[in-house]
Structures are given as C-alpha cells and as structure tokens.
Amino acid sequence: MSSLLTTVLPWLVGLLVLGAVAVVLWRSYGSVSNPSDRNDYQHALELWIEGELEDAAALLHKVVHDDPSAVDPFLHLGNLLRLQGDAERAAVVHRGLTVRSDLTLPQKIAVGLSLAEDLNALARWDESGQVLDTLLRHATNRTRYWKARFAQRHGQDNQPEAARTLKAAARHAPRRDHQWFRRAYASYQLDRALKHALAGEPGEARARLKDVRDFPNAAARAALVTAVMAALANDTATAVTVASEKLLHSPEELAIFLPLLQEVLLDAGQYARTIPILERACQSEEAPASLWVDLAMLYEKLGQREKALRLLSSKAGRPRFTPDAAAPYMKMLLQDVPQSDAAKVWGMLGRPAALDGWSCSHCGYRSDHIRWYCPDCGRFESFQAGLPVAAGV
C-alpha cells in the first residue's frame, strides 16, 4: 500500500498543478477558447485602441459568432456599439450577459456598469438607477460606478443628489481619482450657482457658493458669481469692488465678467469705471487678448486713440494678438474713414463664422454664458468663449 501511494502521489500532484495552470490560462483569456478566436479578439482590441472602430466591431462580431460562450468579447462589443452611437443594441448585448450563470463576480460588475452606461445614453434614468442599485454592495470602489451614478442622478434632474454623488465619490472611489471628483464637485456646484445668479435667485446661488468655500481653486469663480449677482442687482459699487479686488488676479474670470459689468455701468453712465480695472488686469501675462482690445475700445470711446494704439503696440507679436482678436477695434477705426481703400477692402473680406456666446469644445452644445459642466455630453471644464455658431446646436 505504501509503495502504491509512493507511485501514485506524484502523478496526483502533477495533475493538480496542471489543472491549476489550466484555470489560470482560461481566466487570462476571458473565456475565449479557440486560439484563432483569441488572436482575433486581441486584434480587435488593438484596432479599437488605434481608432479603427468599424473594423474592431466587425472583428468582435466574428469572435462572438464563432464562440457564443465568450464573455469579455460580448462585453467589449456592447461597449463599442455604445461608443459608435448605438446604445440600444449595446443594451441588448449587455442585458443578455446579465442572465448568464457562468459569470464571475468581476464580470457581473463590469456587465452591470456597462448596462447602466447604455441606459444612461438612452436617457432611461430609472432603469439605470435600478441596475446601479444591484451593484451597490460590490462596485462602490470603482470610478465607473460613481460616474454612471452621477450621470443618472443628473439625468433625473435631481441636482442635489448628483452633487452628493460627486462628493461621496471623492471619498470612496479609488484614491487616484479623488482629486478629479473634488474638482468635478466644485465645477458642478459653481455651475449651479451661476445659473441661480443669472435666474435672479441669489439665495440659492449663495447656498451653492457655501458648498465650495473650502475649495481654494474655486475662489476666483465664486467671486465671479458674487460679482454677477451684484451687477444684476444694480449694485455697481459691489460689482466694481469684487472685480478690482478679487478678480484682478484671475484674468480669465475677469474677462467673463467685464462685458456684463460694462453693460450695467453703461446703463448707469459710469462705464469708464472699468478702465482702472482693465489697465491693471492687462499688465498680467495671463490676460486674454480680449481684455487688451476691450481697453483699447474704451480709450477710443473716450477720444484717447494714442493711448489705445500705444497699448496695442505693446502687445505686438504676442501669439494671442490675432486679426480676429483685434477685429472689433479695427471696425471702430474704419468707421472714421468709410470711403478709404482700407475700409473698402475690409468690406470685401469674407467674415469669419459668427461668434456667439459659449460652446462646449467636445460636443458643440451652446450657451449664452460660461458653463463649468456640459449638460449635453457630461464633460467638465469644456466650454470656450467665441466658438462659431456652426460648431453645434
């Protein structure tokens, strides 16, 4: 008996080792069993990374057709379909995976998150919420869970819950993403604050500003919202004070606010009060070219052309000082000599696309004021001033 054990035991150990290796290899290739299928699957992912989405999708279709038992190829096919704009088919693929009994827990989480993202893309917010609820025990340590939950809450127009989601994510998501969620929370609350300010709801605006008072990077934008509230309330003294004391060292925010301030001061016959603010702001290396041109135009209106030309001469050669940036002042100059050759040539020139308000640089969504969160594509910090009207609808 002893000799029999001595003979058989090494074989049993060897079989166990081989079995363990087989399991590891099977898991490594995500249940794609055929070697040629594995090659096609890897090739499809490579095409995806290279941006060849149609070819990648075609190859993934072949892989899942050849091996219907595969899991990861089905999962990636659905994600790719959503990325290509076909969230309806993506949801069908991912929902089909949810009924599979052979999924590991990580696969169940990945499939659930993908299905929630499909449903968000289809604006089926309640269904997405139900799917995310089923993942609550296992997925709250994943960034995708928090982003999907935020999008779902915002889609339901439940902005308080959406904000709380971003705040919670800054504590529970992977540490590497904590700072991203903190910035996103501040941007979202500031976006809400500005909307309330422009809607004449100062109480709500102040409440949102209170939410971000401990975020140092939000100070300049919070001052911008405060200045907007003062200007809209015709409190010109406060508006000018905030602009000169709190926005002066934040040229981008000052450039956003000055047109509104100038409009209010013009109505009050005090528009020249912005000149000292602009003069100091234009000394900053970070000041946008629009501030230089605004100041030159104010000098021109006051009959101080030499000061205007001297200012612009000091900016000569700066990359930001382009013909488009200087066009408003050029137009003022040419009005003095409408019959000159320069004015005639100006009139012949094709005008650049009309500029209108603010646009999301990712999806083209337009707004008549700055936004720090795009309600269309869900991007943060994506809005730019002066993008052409044709950029989006």
Residue 297 lies in a domain: yes
Nearest to 73 by CA among 130, 122, 114: 114
Q: How confident is the model at residue 301 (pLDDT cuts 50, 70, 90)?
A: confident
Residue 101 lies in a domain: yes
Q: Is the C-alpha dihedral spanning 352, 357, 363, 365 positive or negative?
A: negative
* End position of a domain, from candidates 117, 139, 161: 139
Which residue is it, tokens 């083209």? 364
Is residue 303 located within the same domain as residue 370?
no
Is residue 106 located within the same domain as residue 135?
yes
Q: What is the DSSP string of 61-95?
A: HHHHHH-TT-SHHHHHHHHHHHHTT-HHHHHHHHH
The more confident residue out of 162 and 388 is 162
Q: Which domain holds residue 385?
A: 353-393
Is residue 300 located within the same domain as residue 315?
yes
Query: Mean pLDDT across the stretch 154-165?
Result: 97
Q: Please state, rounded to an integer, the average pLDDT across all residues of the chain.
A: 83
Residue 224 lies in a domain: no
Q: Report residue 32 CA to chain centroid gap.
A: 36
* End position of a domain, from candidates 139, 172, 204: 139
Residue 357 has pLDDT above 80, yes or no: no
Decide: helix, strand or coil at residue 137: coil
Q: How many domains does the chain have?
A: 3
Residue 128 lies in a domain: yes
Lowest mean pLDDT among 164-173, 284-293, 352-361: 352-361
Residue 171 lies in a domain: no
Is residue 363 located within the same domain as residue 336?
no
* End position of a domain, from candidates 123, 139, 155: 139
Residue 243 lies in a domain: no
Residue 240 lies in a domain: no
Is residue 35 located within the same domain as residue 59?
yes
> CA angle at residue 360 from 121 to 180, to 5 degrees?
70
> pLDDT, tens digit, for every residue of 228-278?
999 899 888 888 888 888 887 888 888 888 888 777 777 777 777 888 888
pLDDT at 354: 44
Is residue 49 located within the same domain as residue 125?
yes
Is residue 50 located within the same domain as residue 122?
yes
Query: Mean pLDDT across the stretch 302-321?
Result: 87
> pLDDT, tens digit, for every residue of 330-352?
888 888 877 787 777 767 765 54
